[in-house]
Amino acid sequence: MSETVRNRIAWIFTAALAAFVLVFTLTAPDPEEDRARALGSLIRCPVCQGESIADSPSQTARDMMDLVQLRIDQGLSDEQILDELLASYSGALLLDPPLAGATVWVWLAPVAALAVGLVLVARRVRPAPEASARSRQERLATPRPVRSKRRIATGAVVLLLAGAGALVAVGQFRQARADDNLLSGIAGGEVDPDSISNETLEAVIAANLDNPDIGGMRLALANRYFEERNYQKAFPHYQEILDGNPTPLQAAAAYTRLGWMVYDGNGEVDLGLSLIDNALEIAPGDPFALYLKGRVLWCGRDDAEGAAGIFTEVLASSALDDAVLQQVEDDLAAASAGESCQ
Amino acid sequence: MFALLGAIGILTGVAGSMWLTFAAIRNARSDLRDPERLTRPVWTLLGGAVLAMLALEAALIFNDFSLEYVANHHARVTPFPFNVATAWAALEGSIVLWGLVLAMFTWFTWRSYRRAPDRLGAGALAVMGIVGTFFFGLQLSVANPFQVCIEAVANGCLSSSPLPWMAAQAPPDGPGPNPLLQNHILMAIHPPMLYLGYVGLTVPFAYAISALALGLPGVEWLRRSRRSTLVAWTFLTLGITLGGWWAYEVLSWGGYWAWDPVENASFMPWLVATAFLHSALVQVRRGALQAWNFVLVITAFSLTILGTFLTRSGTVASVHSFTQSAIGPVLLGFLFIVLVGSFGLFAARSHLVSESPRLDSLFSREGSFLLNNLLLTIYAFIVVTGTLYPIVVEAFSGDRVSVGEPFFNRLAVPVSFGLLLAMGVGPLVPWKDADPRVVAGRLRLPLQVGLLAGAVTVITTSRIGYVVIAVVLGVFVITSAIALLVERAGRSARARGGSIGPEIRRQVRSDTGFWAGQLSHSGVALVAIGMALAANLALHGEVAMAPGETTRFAGYELTYRSPFLTTEPHRRVQGATIEVFRDGELVTTLQPRANFFGTDTSGITTPAVHSGIGGDLYLTLIDIDPTGILLRLNTSPGIWLLWTGGLVTTAGGIWSLTARRRQPAEVAVGV
């Protein structure tokens, strides 16, 4: 057998292999599709960082997946299910940007870049032997101006500067819209949160559920309700704070006030004390938590002695303003005397 | 005391950087300057950086809570080595590590300058001095890790002062580092690896800027910076691999990569650095792509700054948090200065960059490098676009959009397949103008082996297109490298009349750089196969079990034995003991769990993984109460290929670093 024939047979064998693989792959049965999972992987979990609700083990994501399964069982279409999820969970976003509207360019830009790249590559290759020989001679004879490259580079610099200008302009513009963007305003220290009504704060919080900055603002709002003794409204906010990702100080503040509210509002002494103890575990020696614990012991359990001990501890801590100091001293005096609380 | 030491270290770092900048600029003006002039500034810089790092570590190890950084990111119970790693667990400390790594790279650059002092090397050191001034300046201003706590609370620090002599108030204890970061040992080593990669890219950038500023283009800057580029690339590769591994072992969603902006931040410079490694070779060998190399190296450096900006300014979570810390605007400003300054310099000096010779044919080694560069650049472009797009849309319109995994997968997978094909074909194609028949002859065997592997896959494993393509191309890449080695060794064995074994060794030794590259290619091929298997053949399930109950999943029988609860000094662990049987025989016992660190009440779910050649069994505890558990079940077929592939790719980088430098005679000098 000659070399060429052997060669040909080898290639025919290769082609046959390729055909075999190709046929088997193309005729593969459609994989059993897990529709809930496929849909879930398109939705960004509102409480996590960039995970889809199909992947995330968080409670919110699991609730959303249950909803997806329910709607599938009810026979709704993919589109209906996605629309409902996006509408009913604020902060849930489509992970797969649609080829329309604001996200059309994210698809088109890489395609455009590929086209430009292909043109650039083509231009780097010598056209044909004769033409290139001629052009080489020409190039040797007359040094080619390099203006074109320079122009491209200058253009790039101008573009960058324009981009920088645009960003600065946007910054200014956003500053002007500070009213619409209370959150950034407060975060940047431009807006005093005290000047904002409860309703506005509620709206801002509701619109920014997935924003990590929201914890502090929620705490401020909840504390405001707490001071107003509006426990109905304060309660869910403190719970949200604890369910989110609170700093230790935020968590302690929330536990303290939850503890006081279940005692003061519902008369649950034990639960109240255990919640306040949670706070004290997080922030040992926190004067406000200690003081409230003392009040609960005194008023709820008639444990004047225990309360007096705690009030003494409160007074030992440094950071108390005069009004509070007075209050605690009065309470201490009364509790030490064995009076019942008023 | 540590605050004072640290402040002295940072100040010394700033002073050393500025001193180096001025001295190096003077030396860059003429070849006749005394090279020893740079010795003291470099040692000052390095000394300052080391002192700052040591002061921070000592403060963490000796529980000096009078430092705000320690008070807010450390706890007495944080065990070794996590207390050491806390130094880079948050922004300020990570910039200290950045400064130290930069000082080390500066020192290495200075050492090679001292061996052969010239203007190019001095110029590069001047650029490194400028970058050093910026990063030590950051530590002095907006990211100062040695702030003294002046208002302590029970469990942290409320306000602080940058003046180290202020009377400090130390809280009794701190909250400890982010629980996610103290859950696995990989988190202690993965960030330094990435930083070595990021910061290493400063060296080629410095040489490029020096070459442009001094009007010394050519290949010298490429050859000088090649080692640093390789070091940077190798560490980036390792860092990315370890990052994926960590995510898999800790984040409990069963995946390893989610196209999260933080992950993309490390991947973008890797792609561009990979493109640069290849295109630099084209310039060194054939004198082409001169301007392109400048563009790539400036882009790679800028992407490391962009990545730091994205991960450290909080912009990713929301544009609104941009203004929370001053570091965001400062880094963005630096990025603009780098971009405008570098490309402006490039524009001003473009007349010195020669009109590169055109390629003889696209069907040649350099042609395949060109296509590989196109693909890698498009890849990087896709990642950059997808990462920045939501930020840009939100900044301009206030709307929130999300660009997630489906987008990246849809665009990146075809590009990856293209790259695999190029990796298999490219090394077989000769330089200049290839003879199609020679190439076809070399391609045949690898193609056959790849297709054979594909045929086995469709019969035994899966007929899903992605899996089959990945297997065919992956095996093709690996086989083509092996076949080429055997062919070359066989040819020279015939010519010398020796046997093939020693010839292979000789081949590998004489062209280590090339064969190390082939090893890295094989690693990438393994990664591709592993990814395709894990993404397409994984099984998912969820089951509720009471103690004693058994469930079947993916050929295993899982029995829930009992819940357990343990307390360690720094955490409480709550979990479930599950016995895994296969065909009635006990395979292993797994304990998926939730870890509670310090005062954290929500708990970090930590999966339990049983690894095997066929794939992993991956259990996540979703919920547990006395009546039973809710368990998420996953399999990850072939995932070990991914880790192995990443390590093999890294090994290729390390191996090529051991290669002797090419002789100048082999180099085609482009003027």
Phi, psi of B559 (to 5 degrees): -115, 125
Cβ–Cβ gap A62/B447 under 8 Å: no
B121, B37 in Cβ contact below 8 A? no
d(CA A182, CA A192): 10
**N-term to C-term CA, chain B:** 56
Q: Quick one: what percent of chain A has pLDDT higher than 90?
A: 7
Cα–Cα distance between A116 and A288 in angstroms, integer? 65
In this structure, are strands B608-610 and B593-597 parallel, antiparallel, or unpaired? Answer: unpaired
Interface test with A, best of B252, B350, B447 (most A CBs within 10 A): B350
Does residue B177 sit at the A interface (CB-CB below 8 Å)? no
- Which of A125, A213, A317 to mutate to test binding with chain B, by most B CBs within 10 Å of its CB? A125
Closest-CA distance, B133 to chain A, in angstroms, reads: 23
Residue A188 pLDDT grade (very low, low, confident, very high; cuts 50, 70, 90): very low
In Å, what is the CA distance from B543 to each residue of A55, A176, B534? 15, 53, 21
* B600, B179 contact by CB (below 8 A): yes
| B350/A150 Cβ within 8 A | yes
Position B398 scores a pLDDT of 77
- B463: nearest CB among A25, A105, A184: A25
Determine whether the interchain pair B389/A153 forms a contact, defined as Cβ–Cβ distance below 8 Å. no
Which pLDDT value is given to residue A249? 79
Which amino acid, A294?
Answer: G
Looking at residue A169, its pLDDT comes to 57
pLDDT higher than threshold 70 for residue B38: yes
Q: Residue B212 has which token pair?
A: 């442009």
User: In the Cβ-directed half-sphere of B194, how many Cα atoms lie within 13 Å?
Assistant: 28
B336 contact residues in A (CB cutoff 8 A): 160, 164
Query: Which own/partner contact pairs does A286-292 have at CB distance under 8 Å and 24+ positions apart?
Result: A286/A252, A286/A256, A286/B154, A287/A314, A287/A317, A287/A319, A287/A320, A288/A256, A289/A252, A289/A255, A289/A256, A289/A259, A290/A314, A290/A317, A291/A324, A291/A328, A292/A256, A292/A259, A292/A260
What pLDDT, in 10s, does the model give residues B241-285? 999 998 898 887 888 888 888 889 999 999 999 999 999 998 888
**Number of cross-chain residue pairs from A and B with Cβ atoms under 8 Å apart:** 232
List, as ranges, residues 322-381 from B with C-beta within 8 Å of A: 323-324, 336, 339-340, 343-344, 346-347, 350-351, 353, 355-356, 358-362, 367, 370-371, 374, 377-378, 381
Please tell me if residue B459 touches chain A, with a CB cutoff of 8 Å.
yes
Q: DSSP per residue over A280-317, as a string? A: HHHSTT-HHHHHHHHHIIIIIH--HHHHHHHHHHHHHS
> Which of A14, A26, A160 is the closest to B340 by Cβ?
A160
Residue in chain A closest to B410 (alpha carbons) equals A96
How far lies B38's CA from each of B102, B220, B237, in Å?
16, 21, 32
CB contact under 8 A, B404 and A102: no
* pLDDT confidence band for B453 (50 / 70 / 90): very high
Q: pLDDT value at position B474? A: 97
pLDDT tens for each residue of A52-91 = 888 888 888 888 999 999 999 998 888 899 888 888 887 7
- What's the mean pLDDT in B170-193? 83
Lowest model confidence (mean pLDDT) among B286-300, B391-405, B460-474, B637-651: B391-405
Cβ–Cβ gap A50/B362 under 8 Å: no
Name the burial class of residue A141, with classes exposed (0-12), middle (13-18) and buried (19+) by CB atoms within 10 angstroms of its CB. exposed
How many Å lie between the alpha carbon of A289 and the closest alpha carbon of chain B? 12
What is the pLDDT at residue B665?
Answer: 38
Tell me: pLDDT of A131 over 60: no
- Between CA B134 and CA B10 the distance in angstroms is 12
Find the residue in B nearest to A160 (Cα). Answer: B340
| Rg of chain B taking only CA atoms, in angstroms | 27
User: Which run of H or E residues covers position B541?
Assistant: strand B540-545
CB atoms inside a 10 Å sphere around CB B501: 10
Strands B585-590, B571-582: parallel, antiparallel or unpaired by DSSP?
Answer: antiparallel
CB burial of residue B247 (10 Å; 0-12, 13-18, 19+): buried
- What is the model's pLDDT at position A185? 44
Q: Do A126 and B455 touch (CB under 8 A)?
A: no
Please, are residues B546 and B560 in contact by the beta-carbon 8 Å criterion? yes
Region B424-448: what's the mean pLDDT?
A: 89
Q: How far is B61 from chain A (nearest CA, A)?
A: 22
d(CA A192, CA B373) in angstroms, rounded, equals 52
> What percent of chain B has pLDDT above 90?
56
pLDDT given for residue B301 in this prediction: 96
* Partner A contacted by B454 (CB < 8 A): yes
**CB-side exposure of A138: number of CA atoms within 13 Å?**
8
Whether residue B300 contacts residue B197, with contact meaning beta carbons closer than 8 Å, is answered with: no
For residue A150, CA distances in Å to A146, A157, B341, B348, B377 come to 6, 11, 15, 7, 22
B9 has a chain A CB within 8 A of its CB? no
Range B513-529 average pLDDT:
95
Cβ-contact B608, B482 below 8 angstroms: no
B351-365 pLDDT per residue, tens: 888 766 777 788 888
pLDDT tier, B380 (very low <50, low <70, confident <90, very high otherwise): very high
Per-residue HEC secondary structure of B203-232 comes to: HHHHHHHHHHHHCCCCCHHHHHHHHHHHHH
For Cα atoms B236, B239, B241, give the angle at the middle one, nearest 5 degrees. 110
- The minimum CA-CA distance between A325 and chain B, rounded to whole Å, is 19
Query: Is residue A145 scored above 60 in pLDDT?
Result: no
Q: How many CB atoms lie within 10 A of CB B303?
A: 27
Show the tokens assigned to B606.
């930590």
Query: Counting every residue, how long is chain B?
Result: 671
Region at B34 (left for phi over 0; alpha for psi -120 to 50; beta for the rest): beta
Closest B-chain CA to A287: B154
Q: Give the model confidence (pLDDT) of B555-589 as tens digits.
A: 899 999 999 998 887 788 899 999 999 998 999 99
The pair phi, psi for residue B170, each rounded to 5°, is -100, 125
The whole-angstrom distance between residue B260's C-alpha and the CA centroid of its chain comes to: 14
What distance in Å separates the CA atoms of residue B384 and residue B254, rounded to the nearest whole number?
Answer: 25
Q: Mean pLDDT lowest for which of A11-25, A143-157, A317-331?
A: A143-157
Q: Any residues with CB less than 8 A from the CB of A328 and at least 6 apart, and which?
A: A291, A311, A314, A315, A320
DSSP tag of A37: H
CB A216 within 8 A of CB A189: no
More confident residue, B41 or A47: B41
B507-to-A214, A249, B238, B498 alpha-carbon distances in Å: 62, 65, 27, 13
Task: Walk across the sheet containing B540-545 and list its strands.
Answer: B540-545, B628-636, B616-625, B608-610
Using CB atoms within 10 A of its CB, is residue B392 exposed (0-12), middle (13-18) or buried (19+)?
A: middle
Does residue B452 sit at the A interface (CB-CB below 8 Å)?
Answer: yes
Token pair listed for B364: 């040649």
Contacts of A133 (CB under 8 A, 6+ apart): none
pLDDT value at position B452?
A: 95
In order, the DSSP letters of A87-127 are: HHSTT-EESS--SSGGGHHHHHHHHHHHHHHHHHHHHTB--
Optimal mutation site among B403, B437, B595, interface A, most CBs of chain A within 10 A: B403
From B153, B340, B472, residue closest to A249, measured CB to CB: B153
Q: Tell me the residues of chain B between 561 and 620 that have a Cβ less than 8 Å away from chain A.
A: 598-599, 601-602, 605, 620
Quote the pLDDT of residue A144: 47
Mean pLDDT across chain B: 89
Q: Which residues of A touch B540 (CB under 8 A)?
A: 34, 37
Residue A158 has pLDDT above 90, yes or no: no
Q: Residue range B644-670: average pLDDT?
A: 73
Quote the distance between the C-alpha of residue A104 and its chain's center: 23
User: What pLDDT shows up at residue A148?
Assistant: 57
What per-residue confidence (pLDDT) applies to B667? 38
Per-residue pLDDT band at B312 (split at 50, 70, 90): confident
Contacts of A97 in chain B (CB under 8 A): 389, 401-403, 407
At residue B346 the predicted structure's pLDDT band, cuts being 50, 70 and 90, is very high
Please give the average per-residue pLDDT across B86-113, as a whole number: 93
**Which of B360, B369, B368, B309 is CA-nearest to residue B338?**
B309
Residue A77, phi then psi, degrees to nearest 5:
-80, 160
DSSP state of B88: G
Confidence of residue B156 (pLDDT cuts 50, 70, 90): confident
Which residues, in sequence order, are CB contacts of B343 under 8 Å at separation 6+? Answer: A153, A156, A157, A160, B298
Whether B57 has a pLDDT exceeding 80, the answer reads: yes
B371 half-sphere exposure, CB direction, 13 A CA radius: 20
Q: Kindly report which listed range (A191-205, B3-17, B484-498) carries the lowest average pLDDT score.
A: A191-205
Q: Which of A91, A122, A113 is nearest to A206 (CA)?
A: A91
Tell me which DSSP letter residue B567 carries. E
Q: What is the pLDDT of residue A187?
A: 46
Q: Does the pLDDT of residue A141 top 60, yes or no?
A: no
Contacts 24+ apart (CB under 8 A), A16-22: A17/B448, A17/B451, A17/B452, A17/B454, A17/B455, A18/B447, A18/B451, A20/B451, A20/B455, A20/B458, A21/B451, A21/B454, A21/B455, A21/B458, A21/B468, A21/B472
Mean pLDDT of A220-234: 81
Gap between the Cα atoms of B579 and B562, Å rounded: 10
Given 3-state DSSP classes, what are the helix, strand and coil percentages for chain B, each rounded to the nearest 5? 65, 15, 25
Share of chain B above pLDDT 70, in %: 95
